Structure 1
Amino acid sequence: MAFDSRLLSGIGVLSAVIEAGSFVRAGEALGLTQPAVSRAVARLEARVGLRIFNRTARSITLTDEGRRFYEAVAPHLSGIEEATILATGAKEAVQGRLRVNVDGAFGHYLLAPKVETFLARFPDLSLEISVRDRMGDLVADGFDVAVRFGVPESSALVTRLLLETRVITCASADYLARHGVPTHPKDLEQEHECVLLRDPSSGRHFAWEFNKGEVVIPVSVKGRLLVNDTGSLVGACLGGQGVAQLLQLYAQHLLADGQLVHLLSDWSTETFPLYTYYHPAKFVPAKVRAFVDFVLELVSSEPWRTLPV
């Protein structure tokens, strides 16, 4: 089939719809009416011979075929955008809008406090940070890159391990004065109230285990408080509600100034990984490369790496 140059226009509209989440908002971004956007998408569907969106009166979602189609063409759109920037002689290729998908632990404790440095470095770039329980579908949701804690699920995305931080067990001095200090992981099963963090993939709380070298002990903890974000987890632990398992990466300053006490330090060799995710492409967009490089710089400079147990 001969190449139809109008496909590029249609794909550009498709990209705008995916990023905006609706025909109306895509039209506002493109300076088009909602019917014009709808017609452009319909023409694209006719040209490629597949239905890209499932449409209802209240929402639109990518079909499986539409998602695969956009996964294939999105890297080329980014390449065209970057080539255009370079061809116009722009001094800084890192520009435009970058949409980032992060979990709360990374977004709240690492990225947001340092984001001014990144944006000052690239004045022609705008950044959208979306904190989510789960990564979801980067393509369907229109994200450029994600940074999230946890073991990655199988996908076509490029994944890169950024760091592994220790899982540490903590409580406030006030809680320990009332309930005593555990001397063995199994003490937590009967004698202590724990603050639990919901696992978004299962709806139940994350399982607790304790590692000492090659020895691993699972512990069936209990607690009356279940939270779904790290801010609430840290706050409840600081308030004396119970024992919590935190990541050393964001608990370090609370330990250093005595707001929290590190418990069972001999059993604290378990680690939790942080990964970045982005779309596979021969040429990764400059804005994505710049962000990943910044995150690597950010995590490599964190003092938690030398925090004594």
Structure 2
Amino acid sequence: MFDGRLLNGVSVLAAVVEGGSFVRAAEALGLSPSGVSRAIARLEARINVRLLERTTRSVRLTDEGARFYAQVVPLLGGIEEAATNAAGAMQSVRGRLRINVDPYFSRLVLGPRLGTFMDRYPELQIEIFTRNEIGDLIADGMDVAVRFGEPPQTSLIARQLMQTRVITVAAPAYIERHGRPKTPADVARHSCIFYQDPRTGRAFEWELRRGKKVVELETHSRILVNDAGTTLATCLAGLGIAQVFLIGLREYLDSGQLVDLFPDWPDELFPLYAFYPSRQHVPAKVRAFIDFCVEITG
């Protein structure tokens, strides 16, 4: 088992040998000479070896102490190098970044722009896992997660990245066959594509918002999906009306592949959050990824 006191004693021994005296070692370590002496005594008792010969004028290693010191000095150097590398990883965007991402965000927002992020940080390796639920970020070995919706009760740090509009859309093919609802009440006479709330297992309720006015929609559906890609595909195929996030769909609206049915009801918003384990010592790779998400969703 790792003994931190043993490592501390070895560090004090190295300072004594390098400084040539207890006084110089004490100055280098910010200790008193008596504190240095006690640390050496504890180390000698711990390993049951006399390491230093002490006189009123000098301190020198015993033969056993010299052999011990020759063995541990390279180990101290390795520990220092490891600490330096770890500190560098906290400041440099490199290594492996494991991301737990909402499927919708991954497919329509992050995926098409990921090349820019990777070109920006060539020493970074990316692992993306698309899941409907955030799960246990720490147990799953994830560095960061991105999710829509209000944060659940969790010990994770949550940072809101943006808010996106919820829009009600249909494909021209659907409108041609079934007509376009002119008022919110008309939605009750149309086929809808329901999306499953992963937290409850039930379909999300539909509503429209304009300022402080909120209208709950009566809806009917023969299709329930739990994947944003399927929602988009079935809507584009003309199978029904869908409520989706505006983020990632602008090109479909601009090209006419989808029609915003109620552009005068623009105020239903849904937040996007990044989650990570701790506010302290956030790795540079996590900070860089979160900043990039803000950039591509702004």
Same fold by TM (over 0.5)?
A: yes
Q: Check 1:217–1:123 CA distance in 2 against 1; reply closer, same or farther (3 A cut).
A: same
Which segment is superposed worse, 275-284 or 239-248?
275-284
Are 1:151 and 2:150 matched, yes or no? yes
Q: Which amino acid aligns with 2:135?
A: G
* 1:148 and 1:275 in contact (8 A); partners too: yes
**Offset from partner CA, 1:124-180 (integer Å, 9 cap, x none):** 211100000101110111100011111111211111111101001010111112111
- Provide the residue aligned with 1:57 in structure 2: none
Are 1:98 and 2:89 matched, yes or no? no
* 1:85 and 1:93 in contact (8 A); partners too: no
* 1:196 and 1:244 in contact (8 A); partners too: yes
Query: 2: distance between equivalents of 1:168 and 1:82?
Result: 51
Q: Which amino acid aligns with 2:84?
A: T
- Provide the residue aligned with 2:226 in structure 1: 228
* 1:162 and 1:274 in contact (8 A); partners too: yes
Query: 2: distance between equivalents of 1:232 and 1:206?
Result: 16
Specify the SS of the correspondent of 1:135: coil
Q: Check 1:163–1:223 CA distance in 2 against 1; reply closer, same or farther (3 A cut).
A: same
* 2:193 and 2:224 in contact (8 A); partners too: yes
Q: Which amino acid aligns with 1:142?
A: G
* 1:150 and 1:274 in contact (8 A); partners too: yes
Aligned runs of 1:4-83 on 2, under 5 Å?
A: 4=3, 83=83
Query: 2: distance between equivalents of 1:82 and 1:196?
Result: 52
Q: Which amino acid aligns with 2:208?
A: F
- Provide the residue aligned with 1:160 in structure 2: 159
Which segment is superposed worse, 136-145 or 262-271?
262-271
- Provide the residue aligned with 2:84 in structure 1: 84
Query: 2: distance between equivalents of 1:85 and 1:193?
Result: 58
Aligned with 2:250 (options 246, 249, 252): 252
Q: Check 1:85–1:183 CA distance in 2 against 1; reply closer, same or farther (3 A cut).
A: same
Are 1:137 and 2:123 matched, yes or no? no
- Provide the residue aligned with 1:169 in structure 2: 168
Query: 1: distance between equivalents of 2:180 and 2:134?
Result: 37
Aligned with 1:210 (options 195, 208, 211): 208
* 1:194 and 1:223 in contact (8 A); partners too: yes
Specify the SS of the correspondent of 1:101: strand
Where do 4+ consecutive residues of structure 1 move more than 2 Å? 2-6, 80-88
* 1:86 and 1:93 in contact (8 A); partners too: no
* 1:97 and 1:125 in contact (8 A); partners too: yes
Query: 2: distance between equivalents of 1:264 and 1:277?
Result: 32
Query: 2: distance between equivalents of 1:134 and 1:250?
Result: 20
Please, which runs of 5 or more residues in structure 1 have no aligned partner?
7-79, 301-309
- Which has the larger Rg? 2
Are 1:118 and 2:101 matched, yes or no? no
Q: How big is the alpha-carbon RMSD for the aligned residues of Structure 1 and Structure 2?
A: 2.4
Q: Check 1:82–1:185 CA distance in 2 against 1; reply closer, same or farther (3 A cut).
A: farther
| Pairwise CA distance, 1:3 | 6.7
Specify the SS of the correspondent of 2:118: helix
Specify the SS of the correspondent of 1:231: helix
Specify the SS of the correspondent of 1:236: helix
Specify the SS of the correspondent of 2:234: helix
Query: 2: distance between equivalents of 1:154 and 1:127?
Result: 28
| Pairwise CA distance, 1:87 | 6.2
* 2:174 and 2:240 in contact (8 A); partners too: yes
- Provide the residue aligned with 1:186 in structure 2: 185
**Offset from partner CA, 1:71-121 (integer Å, 9 cap, x none):** xxxxxxxxx999532767x8x822111100010111111111111111122
Specify the SS of the correspondent of 1:194: strand
Query: 2: distance between equivalents of 1:196 and 1:137?
Result: 27
Query: 2: distance between equivalents of 1:81 and 1:98?
Result: 22
- Provide the residue aligned with 1:273 in structure 2: 271
Q: Which amino acid aligns with 1:123?
A: P
Q: Check 1:130–1:184 CA distance in 2 against 1; reply closer, same or farther (3 A cut).
A: same
- Provide the residue aligned with 1:238 in structure 2: 236
Structure 1 length-normalised TM: 0.68
Specify the SS of the correspondent of 2:191: coil
**Offset from partner CA, 1:217-249 (integer Å, 9 cap, x none):** 111311101111111101111101010011111
* 2:247 and 2:297 in contact (8 A); partners too: no
Aligned residues between the structures: 224
Q: Check 1:167–1:87 CA distance in 2 against 1; reply closer, same or farther (3 A cut).
A: closer
